[in-house]
Amino acid sequence: MGNRGKPRTVTIWDLTSGTYRTLGSHAGSVTTIAFSPDGKRLASGAYRDAINIWDLTSGGFRTLVKANADEGFTSVAFSPDGQRLASGIESRGIEIWDLRSGSSQTFLLSSRNNMWFSVAFSPDGQLLASGVGRNTIKIWDPTSGSLIHTLEDPHSIHHPSPPGRSIAFSPNSQRLLSASANAVEVWDPTSGDLICTLEGHRTSVLSVAFSPNNQQLASGSMDHTIKIWDPAVSTHIQALEGHSKEVTCMDLSATGRLLASVSRDHTIKIWDLTDLTSVTCIQTLEGHRDYFVWAYFSPDESTLASCNAGHVSTVEIWDPASGNCLHALEGHDGRVSSVSYSPDGRRIAVASQRGAILIWDTTSGSRIQTLDDT
């Protein structure tokens, strides 16, 4: 994945003069990135290397933690107040950092046979959810580091869940969704109770998302469909059809009005959820010989970013209203491995498997900062 230890330098460019200055380096493939809630910092985790915290105003950085040999960081997540950072570490566990002091606040060990695929703070910052292996979610108190609940997938005995199963908190932090073999599980993260199991997909569920009003949720499956559910009555409201292959990724806009679904049929569909009794597909985005792997709305819903599965990936910025491609962001070194919008939607950070991180202006399509090889 990495370039055998060759350092990746961090460079910030002045787009007017064309001059630059070197800021720092990563020595391995960048696997995960995340903006802080205020948009002033960026966290990046790299395989066989480290987690760096970048100051996007000054261009400086500091290394938070180093990985052991043959280990990497699978995910990073800022707490809602921006004062803590949680990281998932291959085969080792979760580390929670106090970013004010730079010290490790707590270290949560796991079995060497487990893989920590994802970490997510609840929107109120009171809980931390972690996906481990195929069938388990753990709920932690991020302040004390104590384990609150272990949630086991009841379907896993007969139908193993896909690796890296999708998890998502509701906006009010009162529910947690998890993608299962052919169902969606809705949990109470405080009590650890399984509230309901939403069944109806024929094969594995690959992605889940909650609406901003906490009242509906969406699921995408390998059976080529998306279902919109009312978890209060455990029934689906709409089954959205139109993709010819599995739905691998979904994203709901911040208002809940639009849903983007990504499929291996080489298309992204944008659905209008204004009237849940008559959901319509308003745009189908296509044009790649390689299938799309993800798509995410900007926080203000004005743009949609997508990426294809090519050997050298291009990130597109789309206008979801017209379906027009506004910008094609090129120049990434190898496949894109992670992406993150800034909270104001004006910047997008893109990480590639070969260690580079590029930060783009989504309005102009200009490259603002570069973390790249020299």
Q: What is the DSSP string of 51-117?
A: EEEEETTT--EEEEEEPPTT--EEEEEE-TTSSEEEEEETTTEEEEEETTTTEEEEEEE--TT--EE
Where are the strands (E) in 217-366, listed by range?
217-221, 226-230, 235-240, 247-252, 258-263, 268-272, 280-285, 292-297, 304-308, 315-318, 325-329, 336-341, 347-352, 357-361
Map tokens 């010989």 to a residue.
289
Percent of the chain with pLDDT over 90: 25
Lowest mean pLDDT among 50-54, 96-100, 150-154: 150-154
Under CATH, which architecture does the 67-372 domain have? 7 Propeller (2.130)
List, for residues 279-298, the tens digit of each pLDDT value. Answer: 999 999 986 667 777 889 99
pLDDT recorded at residue 115: 55
Over residues 309-334, the pLDDT tens digits come to 665 567 889 999 999 999 888 776 66
Domain boundaries, the chain: 67-372
Which of these ranges, 34-38, 67-71, 215-219, 230-234, has the smallest mean pLDDT? 67-71
pLDDT at 298: 92
In the chain, what percentage of residues exceed pLDDT 70? 77
Residue-wise pLDDT tens digits, 2-54 = 333 444 443 333 323 333 344 455 677 777 888 899 988 888 887 777 888 88
Rounded mean pLDDT, 45-72: 78
pLDDT of residue 112: 47
Amino acid at 202: R
